[in-house]
């Protein structure tokens, strides 16, 4: 019995060193396996994890998947220009057509001033015409238009002088027509009208008992005479011709729809007017000598 116990104790003594050695080697093996696994794990770490903590982003970067580049013919529909429905062709903006009397006046000026005689300057004609409302003036193509109630030189003197003496238009046409309301009102009692309108009409000197046509022609002669006196220097020098004309819309003078010249620089004789117009010699007629436009003055 004693010998058996002694043999068991000896065996235990031999096993204890082996167990202690195994315990000491196991952590080393585990640590070695961990070290071997470390490179594989670090190989998959994101680049920002290699940075110091102060330089790392707040969150891991998000991978952006860019779509493949498309050819122009494969562009998305929103990248193409929108297809516009064809609209009916809009008519071009046109300036309002010139009134018939003004077109007739421009035609008369073209006949009296052939191309090149006035240096092809524009405007070449000043028209003093009747219009309701406040006086106004301005260029309209080949003519310079001055309008006021009764086609009065007194009311339109500023515009006429600008055209005659600054723009040097060689023709001044005083234009009358049957539809001038100011002249028609001036031949009647207008005492009930406002004072401003009465002052405008007082300077229109026509016969109170005359006909509408005689009133229009009388006022036309008065305005031509005033213009010849006011621009006498230009008229005598042959730089200006003052023409009175009546647009015969209703055929009262036997020239329906035509412009009838009633005076040239104050000359009212029909035969003389016809000769001057035929010869295109309407300048300096106030002295009784019909001559072409003095080209040296323009």
CB atoms near residue 152 (< 10 Å) = 24
Tell me if 285 sits within 8 A of 267, measured CB to CB. yes
pLDDT of residue 76: 47
Distance CA(102)–CA(231), nearest Å, equals 23
Among 165, 150, 157, CA closest to 227: 157
pLDDT of residue 208: 86
pLDDT of residue 120: 56
Q: What is the pTM of this model?
A: 0.64
Tell me if 286 sits within 8 A of 265, measured CB to CB. yes
pLDDT of residue 7: 65
Among 218, 229, 232, CA closest to 268: 218
pLDDT digits (tens, 9 = 90+) for 189-244: 898 999 988 999 999 999 988 899 999 999 999 999 999 999 999 998 889 999 99
Beta strand 171-177 with 125-130 is parallel
**Positions in the chain short of pLDDT 50:** 26-37, 40-41, 43, 75-81, 90-97, 294-298
* 133 secondary structure, DSSP code: S
Distance CA(105)–CA(179), nearest Å, equals 17
Q: What are phi and psi of 145, to 5 degrees?
A: -100, 130
pLDDT of residue 161: 95
pLDDT of residue 182: 94
Which residues face 140 on adjacent strands?
Answer: 143
Length of the chain: 298
Q: Three-state SS for 152?
A: coil
């Amino acid at each position: 019995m004693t010998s058996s116990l002694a043999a068991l104790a000896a065996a235990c003594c031999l096993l204890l060193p082996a167990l202690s050695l195994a315990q000491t080697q196991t952590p080393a093996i585990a640590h070695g396996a961990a070290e071997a696994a470390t490179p594989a794990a670090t190989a998959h770490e994101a680049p920002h994890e290699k940075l110091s903590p102060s330089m790392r982003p707040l969150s891991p970067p998000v991978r952006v998947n860019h779509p493949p580049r498309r050819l122009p013919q494969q562009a998305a529909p929103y990248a193409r220009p929108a297809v516009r429905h064809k609209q009916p062709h809009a008519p071009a903006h046109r300036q309002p057509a010139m009134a018939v009397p003004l077109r007739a006046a421009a035609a008369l000026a073209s006949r009296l001033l052939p191309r090149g005689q006035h240096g092809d300057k524009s405007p070449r004609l000043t028209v003093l015409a009747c219009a309701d409302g406040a006086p106004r003036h301005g260029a309209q193509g080949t003519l310079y238009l001055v309008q006021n109630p009764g086609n009065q030189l007194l009311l339109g003197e500023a515009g006429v002088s600008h055209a005659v003496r600054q723009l040097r238009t060689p023709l001044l046409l005083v234009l009358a027509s049957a539809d001038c309301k100011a002249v028609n009102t001036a031949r009647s009692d207008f005492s009930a009208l406002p004072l401003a309108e009465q002052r405008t009409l007082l300077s229109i000197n026509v016969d109170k008992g005359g006909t509408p046509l005689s009133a229009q022609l009388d006022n036309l002669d008065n305005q031509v005479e005033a213009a010849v006196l006011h621009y006498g220097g230009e008229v005598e020098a042959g730089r200006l011709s003052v023409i009175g004309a009546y647009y015969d819309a209703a055929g009262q003078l036997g020239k329906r729809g035509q412009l009838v010249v009633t005076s040239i620089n104050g000359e009212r004789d029909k035969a003389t007017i016809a000769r001057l117009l035929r010869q295109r010699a309407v300048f300096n007629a106030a002295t009784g000598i019909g001559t072409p436009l003095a080209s040296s003055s323009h």
